[in-house]
Amino acid sequence: MIFSENSFFSLALLRVDETDADAFSLRGDPNHAAPLSRAGRQAAGALFLAFYAALRPGETPPVPAVDYIKKGKPVLPAFPDFHYSISHSGEWAAAVYSPLGAVGVDIQKISRFAPRVMNKCFAPDDIALLEKTEEKQKDALFTRLWAEYEAVIKVFGGGLLSLSKEPYAEARKNLRLFYPAAPAGYALCVALDAPKP
């Protein structure tokens, strides 16, 4: 597991085959179509335990169950101020926590440029940037922008494709965006609803 933190958030990255944290149990939300992967639960569990250990040294809590509020945003009912988000793609899962407010994370394995997705979701300046990017660099840039889009949506708890271009561009302006180092072949973005300086 890779664990990093700064003054804005704590981030845990976990490979699918790692088992160094107990998996969260999952209480069902019938509207949450895709079950959280084992690695995603483990990354969230590892992050929660690290946070709890810093808050209450010497105590070992039971790993709590994940519940969901509307639109699939995960919450821990016993810890309502624990703002976190989970993502998984390919061999990697990511979990992020922020003490400052709502947070979203997305990790994406580099995938092929998809013009249809770009035209439906991305802000006009992103589309312009992609259109002038060399072909051999388009897949990586497209994936980074897609990770950014999903991280922004997760701040608000919306489902995939829940923000069209204009509302997305406006929502993004009011968030802090971070691009932590990602595993080779992946893009990673953290979006945070915290006041800008």
Contacts of 36 (CB under 8 A, 6+ apart): 24, 26, 44, 66, 74, 86, 88
In the predicted structure, residue 124 carries a pLDDT above the cut 70: yes
pLDDT tens per residue, range 8-66: 998 888 776 544 434 444 444 444 434 455 556 656 666 666 666 666 677 766 666 66
Question: How large is the average pLDDT for residues 78-97?
Answer: 81
State the pLDDT at residue 8.
92
On whether the CB atoms of residues 43 and 93 are closer than 8 A, the answer is yes
d(CA 183, CA 167): 30
Question: How much of the chain exceeds pLDDT 90, in percent?
Answer: 29
State the pLDDT at residue 120.
81
Confidence of residue 1 (pLDDT cuts 50, 70, 90): low
Type of residue at 167: P
Whole-structure pTM value: 0.80
d(CA 40, CA 183): 16
Radius of gyration of the chain (CA): 17
The closest alpha carbon to 82, from 103, 54, 65, 56, belongs to 103
What is the average pLDDT score of the chain?
77
* Packed helices 165-173 and 135-156: angle between N→C axes, nearest 10 degrees: 70
The strand pairing partners of 53, in sequence order, are none
The closest alpha carbon to 102, from 196, 27, 9, 169, belongs to 9
State the pLDDT at residue 87.
83
d(CA 149, CA 158): 11
> Domains in the chain, please, with CATH?
2-192 (3.90.470.20)
